Each structure stands twice: as structure tokens, then as C-alpha cells.
Amino acid sequence: FGFFLLLFLFYVFKGIQNVLSLFCAVLTENKVLFHSASFQRLSDACRALESLMFPLKYSYPYIPILPAQLLEVLSSPTPFIIGVHSVFRNDIHELLDVIIADLDGGTIKIPECIHLSQLPEPLLHQTQMALSLVCFDTKLNFHFLITFKSMTKDKEVRAIFLRLFAQLFQGYRSCLQLIRIHAEPVIHFHKAAFLGQRGLIENDFLTKVLNGMAFAGFVSERGPPFRACDLFDELVAFEVERIKADEGNPPKMIKHVRELAEQLFKNVSLLYLLHFRIDNTENSVF
């Protein structure tokens, strides 16, 4: 599933809500544990969840396949994304502060002691609508996943999450302060000012995201002026108003998603494209 990791998550969990719950879990620094009888599924699911975070980078333990000798790591106090074989199912269900995702059954278990913060409205509704239009305008099954069209769909899903982050972080650069009194300049982000200008001071989800290690790395990496820019930078700088204008207009929203997906698709390595060959029966990937 290397070419369509994000679609793989929606295929496994048979819908949108479970995937969004896992997305919110990693952004708010919860522990996420996958289990499956397939090592390939474990690897693909961990990679897919991590890739959903772009332009943020996951900065906690990330172990797609945890060896049996290291199961005690699951009791550590730090957040993580970890995969374990289902043979250890009985051991992992004793964990009280871990969100457990069953890749074979397509379910997730959120312990009662965890309050999982969700995306703020109207972003949650907009993201759900966009994903439903992209993921379920065709039958999402294994035979579809091994067709070339699934690569385009995967990029459309990535584009939806890029748009989401552009809206979440719009205006963040106006809250950056470059401090030059040290030997190396230090970039400070005014969280209170950012939340205030967005009217989200009491929003639990965004507050947790801004306090997280991933956002600290984001500020450190993307805060400095005079650096190479990418598609996300362009979205934040020039496209947020267009994204807002597309609210409530699904055709325009999908048009923009497909434009972004086309740009993302161009970034796919030619080497991968040469290796992506589907036979006429659509039953095997060469």
C-alpha cells in the first residue's frame, strides 16, 4: 500500500470518523497503538498516520513494529505511535491510557480516562464533508486500492489535510518574534496572541496543538525568514481566503482539492511511477 497509504487507513477503518479521531489523538499528544496479525498493515498504518501530520513532524517514539522484548515501552509516560502484533492482544488491553486501533477489525478503543479533543467547528464539518466527497464517490475496496486511480485519490486526501492545516495555522507568522540578543537568533511564538486573534482562546484542541512538541518544531523550522518555501507556505500566504470562500460550495472546494492534488502528484518520484505497474486483471502489483 506504499502508494496510497492514506486511503489504506480509510479502507481499514471503513469510514472517516475513526481516522479523524486518530489524527486528533496524535496532534494532541496521546498514545496511539495499532495491532494487527499483519506486519505490513502495522507498518503502513503507522506511516499513514504520521504522514497525515504534514507540515508537522512527529517527535515522539515511533515504532511501527515493536519487538516482544520491548513491550514495557507501552507503559512509558510519553506519547507514541507504535504497532504490535495481535498475538500480544491480551497484554495491550490492560493499558489504561492508550488509544488502541485494531487494524484487522477496523475499530478503535478510547479509554474512559482520555478526553480526546476534536477539531474546532466549522473545520471539523468541512473536513468530514471533503473526505466523504473524495473517499466515497467510488467503492473503496481492495481492488480499487491496487488501481492507478487510487494514487490520485490518495493525493486528494493529502490535499484536504493540507487545506485543514492552512486554516488551522492561518496568521501564525504575524505572531512570530525574532529575538536577536543571543548568539543564534531565537524565534518566539505568541500563542495567546494567535488564539486571541482567531477567537479560539478557550479551544481545547488548538491549545494542545500549539503547546505540543510538533508545533515547536514547526515554528523552529518554518519560522525563520529567507528560506525555501513549499506548497504549504503558499497555501497559508495566498490561498486561505479562497479556502474560506469555498465553504458551503462543494464543487469549488473539490476543484481546489484536485488542483492541490495535481501539484502533490507531480512530486511523486519518477522511479516509483516506473515501478508502479498493474496487470490487466488488477489482482497483483508488480
Q: Mean pLDDT in the chain?
A: 84
Instruction: Look at residue 249 in the predicted model and tell me its pLDDT.
Output: 86
pLDDT at 27 over 70: yes
pTM of the complete model:
0.86
65 C-beta neighbours (distance < 10 Å), count? 15
pLDDT tens, residue by residue, 135-145? 765 554 444 44
Residue 263 lies in a domain: no
pLDDT at 5 over 50: yes
Range of the domain at 27: 5-118
pLDDT at 84 over 70: yes
pLDDT at 113 over 50: yes
**pLDDT interval class at 90 (50, 70, 90):** confident
pLDDT at 205 over 90: yes
- Phi/psi class of residue 106: alpha, beta or left (left: φ > 0; alpha: ψ in -120 to 50)? left
Do 34 and 103 contact (CB within 8 A), yes or no? Answer: yes
Domain harbouring 112, CATH code: 3.40.50.11500
Residue 240 lies in a domain: no
Residue 152 lies in a domain: no
Give the three-class secondary structure for 167. helix
Mean pLDDT of 26-33: 97
pLDDT at 102 over 80: yes
Cα(41)–Cα(105) distance, rounded to whole angstroms? 12
Between 33-37, 160-164, 254-258, 266-270, the lowest mean confidence (pLDDT) is in 266-270
Residue 114 lies in a domain: yes
pLDDT tens, residue by residue, 148-204? 466 778 889 999 999 999 999 999 999 998 887 777 778 889 999 999 988 888 899
Residue 80 lies in a domain: yes
Mean pLDDT of 82-98: 89
- Phi/psi class of residue 248: alpha, beta or left (left: φ > 0; alpha: ψ in -120 to 50)? left
User: Considering its fold, how many domains does the chain have in total?
Assistant: 1
Residue 111 lies in a domain: yes
